[in-house]
């Protein structure tokens, strides 16, 4: 991928110009160390960090054949040098024989790139700035201000009392008022406060039961060892469906409230179940059923 240097648009490998802004893209090459695609003018490989400038310099340097120096010992050992062959044997040919050329194969020597030594920076000594001592500030002299003596106020002279003339009272002749005979006291009738009495009328037995006036909580149930009932229903028919501690009637002022005391078969008001923990304010004519089936039923009455 080639990134455009003008708009940073990524272009595919091998693209000549940018697909977005049509700017000529730089040429690319492969890293000789890891083979990654890099730009031709890059100094280091972005993948492995290889020094691309050193690789390019090694590739451009020309190959120079090594200079082979003539061997003096080989020339002395030749028969022509001792002039033995020339005296005994006639010359065979006038073509001189050239000396063999020794070819030395070049071997590429890998010179690792050695980073230049880092020269530590010399510490520059900066002398500490000498701050002059603060100049002592002379305390300001205290200015003594003498209190201002205010003269005592002169006593106020009493204002002379204004003369108020006496009010004129006209003389009125006395008026004789005839005496009125006192009225006879009215007879006060003795009124008696009527006390409201709450009753329960048992429907099945056709019997009225008056609620006790001296109790704030009236317990309805059957005899037991925990809470004796104030209204005992054990003598009524179908009393077996009534729990020993079945319901309570709380009297608060002129109002009466019915509560279920956790009975087994429940308490119903006007054929609706009364859940434990809730209470219902009783009104004249309310139908109270102890247990299911409306077998033990009372009507609430006020008189």
Q: Could you report the per-residue pLDDT of 251-297, keeping only the tens digit for each?
A: 998 899 999 999 999 999 999 999 988 999 999 999 999 998 889 99
Using CA atoms, how far residue 197 sits from 80, 135, 185, 211, 287, in Å, is 169, 103, 36, 8, 18
The pLDDT value given to residue 185? 55
* Local structure of residue 84 (DSSP, 8 states): S
- How many angstroms separate the CA atoms of 283 and 299, rounded? 10
Q: In this structure, which topology does domain 198-302 adopt according to CATH?
A: Tumour Suppressor Smad4 (2.60.200)
The pLDDT value given to residue 243? 92
The pLDDT value given to residue 81? 46
Sheet of strand 198-202, all strands in order from the earlier edge strand to the far edge: 207-210, 198-202, 297-302, 287-290, 267-269, 272-274
Using alpha carbons only, give the angle 117, 107, 62 rounded to the nearest 5 degrees.
Answer: 75
Rounded mean pLDDT for each run of 10 residues along the chain, 303 residues in total = 80 80 79 77 77 63 55 61 48 52 54 61 68 75 71 69 68 66 56 73 90 90 91 90 92 91 92 91 93 91 86
Query: What is the phi/psi pair of residue 262, to 5°?
Result: 85, 40
- How many angstroms separate the CA atoms of 155 and 157, rounded? 6
The pLDDT value given to residue 303? 80
Domain regions of the chain by residue span: 1-62, 198-302
Q: What is the pLDDT of residues 229-260, one digit of tens each?
A: 999 998 889 899 999 999 999 999 889 999 99
- How many angstroms separate the CA atoms of 87 and 81, rounded? 12
Query: Is the separation of the CB atoms in 204 and 295 below 8 Å?
Result: yes
Sequence-ordered strand ranges (E) for 172-296: 198-202, 207-210, 217-221, 231-232, 245-252, 255-260, 267-269, 272-274, 279-281, 287-290
- How many angstroms separate the CA atoms of 241 and 292, rounded? 8
Using CA atoms, how far residue 65 sits from 59, 68, 240, 264, in Å, is 16, 9, 132, 121
Helix or strand run (H / E) with residue 81? helix 79-82
The pLDDT value given to residue 282? 93
The pLDDT value given to residue 117? 63
Query: Is the separation of the CB atoms in 204 and 291 below 8 Å?
Result: no
């Amino acid at each position: 991928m080639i990134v455009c240097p003008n708009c940073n648009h990524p272009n595919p490998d091998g693209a000549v110009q940018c697909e977005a802004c049509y700017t000529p893209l730089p040429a690319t090459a492969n890293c000789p160390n890891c083979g990654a695609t890099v730009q031709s003018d890059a100094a280091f490989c972005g993948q492995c960090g290889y020094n691309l400038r050193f690789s390019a310099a090694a590739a451009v340097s020309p190959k120079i054949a090594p200079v082979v120096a003539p061997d003096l010992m080989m020339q002395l050992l030749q028969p022509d040098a001792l002039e033995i062959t020339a005296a005994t044997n006639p010359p065979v040919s006038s073509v001189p024989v050239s000396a063999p050329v020794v070819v030395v194969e070049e071997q590429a020597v890998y010179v690792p790139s050695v980073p230049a030594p880092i020269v530590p920076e010399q510490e520059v000594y900066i002398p500490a700035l000498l701050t002059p001592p603060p100049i002592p500030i002379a305390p300001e002299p205290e200015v003594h201000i003498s209190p201002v003596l205010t003269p005592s106020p002169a006593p106020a002279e009493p204002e002379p009392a204004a003369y108020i003339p006496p009010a004129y009272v006209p003389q009125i002749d006395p008026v004789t008022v005839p005496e009125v005979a006192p009225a006879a006291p009215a007879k006060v009738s003795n009124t008696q406060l009527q006390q409201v009495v709450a009753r329960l009328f048992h429907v099945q037995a056709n019997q009225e039961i008056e609620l006790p006036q001296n109790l704030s909580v009236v317990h309805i149930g059957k005899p037991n060892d925990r809470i004796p009932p104030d209204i005992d229903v054990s003598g009524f028919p179908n009393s077996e469906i009534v729990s020993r501690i079945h319901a309570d009637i709380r009297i608060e002022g002129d109002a009466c409230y019915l509560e279920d005391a956790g009975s087994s078969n429940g308490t119903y008001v006007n054929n609706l179940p009364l859940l434990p923990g809730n209470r219902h304010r009783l009104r004249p004519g309310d139908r109270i059923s102890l247990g299911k089936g409306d077998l033990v039923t009372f009507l609430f009455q006020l008189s």
